[in-house]
Structure 1
Amino acid sequence: MDTDKRNTRRKAANNTTGSTARAHVTAGGAPRTVDGLRELVVRIGRDEADVSLGGKAHTVLAKLLEQPEEVAVRTITDLATALDVNASTLTRLCTKLGYAGFADFQSVFRDSLAHRHRHFYTHQAQRLVAGKAARMQMSGRGGASPEIDVVAQLAHESIGNVETFLGRLSPDDLRGAAALLADAPRVRVHALRQFSSLASFLCYGLGMIRTDVALLDAQGLGVAEGLAQLQPGDVVVVSSVAPYTRSVAETAAAAAEAGMTVIAITDTLASPLVPPARHAFLIPHESSFFSNSMGAYLIFCEGLLNLVATHLGKRSLQALSRRERLITALGIETD
């Protein structure tokens, strides 16, 4: 990468995340909040940070940020074993980031955990109410069968994934993404394989409340042709999770390079979709399902669509009303 391109990318990053990141960093340069660390990981992935990490170290840091509670309470030896690295690797990572050592790095996570514990009673009450509803439902069935247990396990795992992504959500990212999806001249959505269904769902929902929304390669003419129809200021939404679809990651990078704004719906900070994205939303998919669990992703997209509709206000109401008139005129729905 030449010097001019590097400076341009750093300037763009400063416009979107720089002011926020500085608020989380001490004079010594090491982030003092978990959010600050997450922002640093993104900037490192974009090659826009003053510190650089190898691919393995970057992945280790991303994995640590996926489990902040574990980092707060476990020993360096336990964490190293869980990550399949040496404890010395974690120590070197901490000092590379500007911390005095692992204890200094861990204090960032402990401070974050202490902040969360201030809301302990509210959290417990919410779980109590949810648990009561679940118990009433179970008693009404008169006991569960093995078949029901399979479905119930998946449901509980999806609930866990939802709770995890709720803890990661940034209000600024949600507001920013909703505004972009509402106001951009054109929006294109791109995902392949299993996540093509998510792309279709998001595209359909956006199309209900605004115009000029489509799948990036809806006609099968090619991704390059789809991107060629867009201009800087248009939005491209991409989605893929581990194991990542290479072409989706390449499409995200190409769209960002061409001046389009990328929004990523993916799973971890180590995802190749994160570096080119203006806003990246991390949704877990851990479950006993034999493929990637989609439940939490659909719930997130429903929430994002509601935020877009709210941002559009009367414009979304007018779009929905026009759609209803056309449905009636064409006799599409039955009574």
Structure 2
Amino acid sequence: MTKATEVLPDTVSGLKQLLDAIERREVDIVLGSSSRRVLTALIESPQRTAVSSINELAQQLAVNASTLSRLAQRLGYGGFSKLQDVFRRELTEGKHFYSEQASRLVVNSSDPDTLNQLTRLGRQESANIASMIEQVDPTVFLHSVELLASARRVRIHGMRQFHSLALFIAYGLGMLRPDVSTLDTGRQGVADALAQLDEGDVLVVSSCFPYTPSVLATAEVAARHGIKVIALTDSASSPLAKSALHSFYVPNHSLFFSNSMCAFMLLAQGLLSAVASHLGEASVSALKHRETLISELNASL
């Protein structure tokens, strides 16, 4: 007599124990030989499983992407991204993320045509952009644009390479409306910066796996104090999405040795362009005023 699993494993070792139980028919989960092979391969290469897209894994394992989705559902995870989260946690906040990404470049370095890598990278980024656009909820996009245009204060926060994205958004939005900056622009620290915001102000945060713990904590604290959080992240299972009022999910799988930023930058440009349209003549006046100041300063040099 088999028994149902009560708690889904949240570690790779727990998954291995579940696989052993399935093979011994101790649980009410039935997997065919192909699914058992795939699950075994995922467990044996947790880093690869954590950082690869579902399509990349399917290609490496010689199965269809739908096979991975069905496997996750049969195990009780609902979707492959939930199963993949188990492997992502195994990397302990990305301890080996960058080296694992770089190792994929080394594996493919035997190709004598170096432009081949650029071509593949371009195709992957195009796929990321197309997937990102497909996932954008029109209502979420509209409400986010309205908040960015009308909130009394807007702050942007990102760390590491996402700091460059935060600077870009802060610069672009600051061209259109007042009281916009990166969260830590004064360098007094995040706590002091958050203390300057009131309930109803907006904080845009960005991070993806391996998530920066300080960014996650900042979003959680801001949301608890009534600050409206907009998250630019990688999936619905991202811890940032739990704190956000509105979230955008940006695929970022590529040959780059870190997280790809192309689709994130396009999303940022799309939001900024929509804010400019939403503000109408007010945005045009703001830009003309800036042009006047630039002209006056140039004349004085």
TM bucket, shorter chain: 0.5 to 0.7
State the shift of 1:88 in Å. Answer: 4.3
Query: Are residue 235 (structure 1) and residue 225 (structure 2) matched?
Result: no
2:150 pairs with 183, 197, 202, which one? 183
State the shift of 1:77 in Å. Answer: 6.4
CA RMSD of aligned residues (A): 3.1
- The one-letter code sitting in structure 1 at the alignment partner of 2:172 is G
Residue 87 of structure 1 corresponds to 74
Residue 34 of structure 2 corresponds to none
| Aligned equivalents of 2:68, 2:292: Cα separation in 1 | 61
Structure 2 counterparts to residues 170-249 of structure 1, below 5 A: 170-249=137-216
Query: Are residue 328 (structure 1) and residue 295 (structure 2) matched?
Result: yes
| Aligned equivalents of 1:55, 1:316: Cα separation in 2 | 51
Structure 1 unaligned spans of 5+ = 1-52, 58-62, 95-144
Percent identity, aligned pairs only?
41
State the shift of 1:79 in Å. Answer: 3.3
Alpha-carbon contact 1:236-1:263 (below 8 Å) kept: yes
| Aligned equivalents of 1:247, 1:201: Cα separation in 2 | 20
Structure 2 counterparts to residues 294-309 of structure 1, below 5 A: 294-309=261-276
SS of the equivalent of 2:242 reads: coil
| Aligned equivalents of 2:282, 2:159: Cα separation in 1 | 31
| Aligned equivalents of 2:267, 2:119: Cα separation in 1 | 20
| Aligned equivalents of 1:277, 1:319: Cα separation in 2 | 29
Structure 2 counterparts to residues 307-326 of structure 1, below 5 A: 307-326=274-293
Residue 262 of structure 1 corresponds to 229
| Aligned equivalents of 1:234, 1:224: Cα separation in 2 | 15
Change (3 A) 1:56 1:307: farther
State the shift of 1:55 in Å. Answer: 8.4
Alpha-carbon contact 1:261-1:277 (below 8 Å) kept: yes
State the shift of 1:321 in Å. Answer: 0.4
State the shift of 1:153 in Å. Answer: 1.6
State the shift of 1:87 in Å. Answer: 3.1
- The one-letter code sitting in structure 2 at the alignment partner of 1:257 is R
State the shift of 1:333 in Å. Answer: 12
SS of the equivalent of 2:161 reads: helix
Structure 2 counterparts to residues 15-26 of structure 1, below 5 A: none
SS of the equivalent of 1:209 reads: coil
| Aligned equivalents of 2:199, 2:156: Cα separation in 1 | 16
Change (3 A) 1:287 1:321: same
Cα-to-partner distance string for 1:19-48 (whole Å, 9 max, x where unaligned): xxxxxxxxxxxxxxxxxxxxxxxxxxxxxx
Structure 2 counterparts to residues 92-131 of structure 1, below 5 A: none
**TM-score using structure 1 length:** 0.59
Structure 1 runs of 4+ aligned residues shifted over 6 Å read 74-77
| Aligned equivalents of 1:187, 1:171: Cα separation in 2 | 21
Residue 136 of structure 1 corresponds to none
State the shift of 1:89 in Å. Answer: 3.1
State the shift of 1:56 in Å. Answer: 4.1
| Aligned equivalents of 1:207, 1:191: Cα separation in 2 | 17
- The one-letter code sitting in structure 2 at the alignment partner of 1:87 is R
Alpha-carbon contact 2:54-2:65 (below 8 Å) kept: no
| Aligned equivalents of 2:113, 2:299: Cα separation in 1 | 41
| Aligned equivalents of 1:250, 1:243: Cα separation in 2 | 14
Alpha-carbon contact 1:76-1:87 (below 8 Å) kept: no
Structure 2 counterparts to residues 44-59 of structure 1, below 5 A: 56=10
Alpha-carbon contact 2:8-2:76 (below 8 Å) kept: no
State the shift of 1:149 in Å. Answer: 2.1
Change (3 A) 1:77 1:281: closer
State the shift of 1:150 in Å. Answer: 2.1
State the shift of 1:146 in Å. Answer: 2.2
Alpha-carbon contact 2:222-2:229 (below 8 Å) kept: yes
Change (3 A) 1:319 1:197: same
SS of the equivalent of 2:199 reads: coil
| Aligned equivalents of 1:163, 1:257: Cα separation in 2 | 34
**TM-score using structure 2 length:** 0.66
| Aligned equivalents of 2:228, 2:128: Cα separation in 1 | 27
Alpha-carbon contact 1:327-1:333 (below 8 Å) kept: no
2:217 pairs with 250, 270, 285, which one? 250
| Aligned equivalents of 2:9, 2:227: Cα separation in 1 | 26
Alpha-carbon contact 1:180-1:235 (below 8 Å) kept: yes
- The one-letter code sitting in structure 1 at the alignment partner of 2:287 is L
